[in-house]
């Protein structure tokens, strides 16, 4: 997600500093270059050595470091960053930034910073709700800074309320849109994901091995690029990103109804969900007993083809993209489905991609150079979703 991005962490003085160490490690694992600027108060909670070990970079703490300041180090740091995340943003630090006070390295650096800035406040509930803090935040937002509201829960002081630093992944999710071009701004995307579950009796169900990860990644990345995204999520589909509208469903019928409602007039509909092709004709409200039975025959009824229904509905989305998970003859089967379902493009992939962290496949559309499929090489599902979104954007409506 953050491959080769330059992320500057501005670390304020609060008990939540230890969680920023987890965040730095997360960014590094996802390919980012990370440098840290710590206030003097932050160093009282966690030593700079911790962040140096995690990032492999020297931690900057002193405005009057003669070596770096001879080269105007605070300006070089600000120019280096693709984005700045300040966490925890204390009430004191927020007040300094709002009033242009530059009395340490971090606040001085922010005076010359042109990169997008995300503030992650963390403090006692009363401090967060105080008129002064809210007024200062409004000033900073008017100046173009972004603010991630703190989480609720148990605070270090023993009280309960809003003021906790959000989880590291939530911080990373909030920073991602600041690093991506907002090329999908104004568009409405609908994506379905995950398996559906068809009940047989009070205990047993018919389902499959799909995890829903790819669909959730597509939703996360499209939202980070500015789209208004609705995710119709089957059971177990992960929660990724904070700007995705999510509708949870269980059965194929529930997914069909939710997709039809959300997809009316959408710009894009992407069907990644592994929908059960069949449901049980009869469903028992009680558990079916085995008894002495050695063989049992059940009757199945075909479910509606969701993506075909969306492709043929009135006020259909401008672009409808299907997925075809196959175990053989991937491209041939997908080409047939492209015509039969009336979709604009289809992604053929192997059933072994289900419940895997990686994916590969073929992009197939009616375009002359894509009708026989363009290979998408094996990669992690975030990279795979980026490739799919790129191809959707290039697809003629």
**Which residues are annotated as catalytic?**
157
Question: Both tokens of residue 130?
Answer: 């105080």
* Three-state secondary structure string covering the chain: CCCCCEEEEEECCCCCHHHHHHHHHHHHHCCCEEEEEECHHHHHHCCHHHHHHHHCCCCECCCCCHHHHCCCHHHHHHHHCCEEEEEEECHHHHHHHHCCCCCCHHHHHHCCCCCCEEEEECCCHHHHHCHHHHHHHHHHHHCCCEECCCEEEECCCCCEEEEECCCHHHHHHHHHHHHCCCCCCCCEEEEEECECCEECCCCCEECCCCCCHHHHHHHHHHHHCCCEEEEEECCCCCCCCCCEEEEECCCHHHHHHHHHHHHCCCCEEEECCECCCEEECCCCCCCCCCCCCCCCCCCEEECCCHHHHHHHCCCCCCEEEEEEEECCCHHHHHHHHHHHHCCCEEEEEEHHHCCCCEEEEEEEECCCCCCCCEEEEEEEHHHHHHHHHHHHHHCCC
| Distance, CA of 124 to CA of 136 (rounded, Å) | 16
279 φ/ψ angles, rounded to the nearest 5 degrees:
-130, 160
């Amino acid at each position: 997600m953050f491959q080769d991005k330059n992320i500057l962490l501005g670390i304020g003085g609060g008990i939540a500093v230890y969680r920023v160490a987890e965040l730095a490690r997360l960014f590094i694992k996802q390919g980012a270059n990370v440098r840290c600027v710590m206030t003097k108060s932050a160093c009282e909670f966690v030593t700079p050595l911790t962040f140096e070990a995690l990032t492999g970079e020297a931690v900057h703490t002193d405005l009057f470091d003669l070596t770096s300041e001879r080269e105007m180090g605070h300006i070089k740091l600000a120019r280096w960053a693709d984005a700045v995340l300040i966490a925890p943003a204390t009430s004191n630090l927020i007040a300094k930034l709002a009033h242009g006070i530059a009395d340490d390295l971090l606040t001085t650096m922010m005076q010359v910073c042109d990169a997008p800035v995300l503030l992650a406040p963390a403090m006692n509930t009363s401090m967060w709700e105080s008129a002064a803090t809210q007024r200062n935040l409004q000033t900073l937002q008017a100046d173009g800074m972004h603010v991630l509201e703190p989480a609720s829960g148990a605070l270090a002081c023993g009280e309960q309320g809003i003021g906790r630093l959000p989880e590291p992944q939530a911080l990373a999710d909030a920073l991602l849109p600041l690093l991506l071009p907002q090329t999908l701004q104004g568009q409405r995307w609908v994506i379905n994901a995950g398996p559906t579950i068809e009940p047989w009796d009070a205990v047993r169900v018919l389902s499959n091995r799909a995890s829903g990860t790819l669909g959730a990644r597509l939703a996360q990345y499209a939202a980070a690029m500015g789209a208004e995204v609705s995710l119709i999520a089957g059971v177990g589909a992960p929660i990724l990103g904070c700007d995705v509208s999510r509708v949870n469903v269980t059965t194929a019928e529930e997914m069909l109804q939710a997709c039809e409602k959300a997809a009316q007039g959408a710009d894009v509909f992407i069907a990644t969900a592994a929908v059960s092709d069949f449901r049980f004709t009869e469903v028992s409200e009680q558990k079916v007993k085995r008894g002495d039975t050695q063989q049992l025959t059940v009757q199945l009824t075909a479910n509606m083809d969701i993506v075909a229904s969306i492709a043929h509905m009135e006020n259909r989305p401008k672009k409808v993209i299907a997925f075809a998970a196959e175990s053989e003859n991937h491209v041939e089967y997908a080409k047939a489905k492209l015509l039969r379902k009336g979709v604009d493009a289809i992604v053929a992939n192997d059933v072994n991609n289900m419940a895997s962290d990686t994916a590969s496949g073929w992009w197939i559309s009616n375009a002359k150079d894509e009708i026989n499929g363009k290979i998408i090489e094996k990669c992690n599902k975030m990279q795979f979703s980026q490739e799919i979104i790129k191809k959707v954007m290039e697809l003629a409506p």
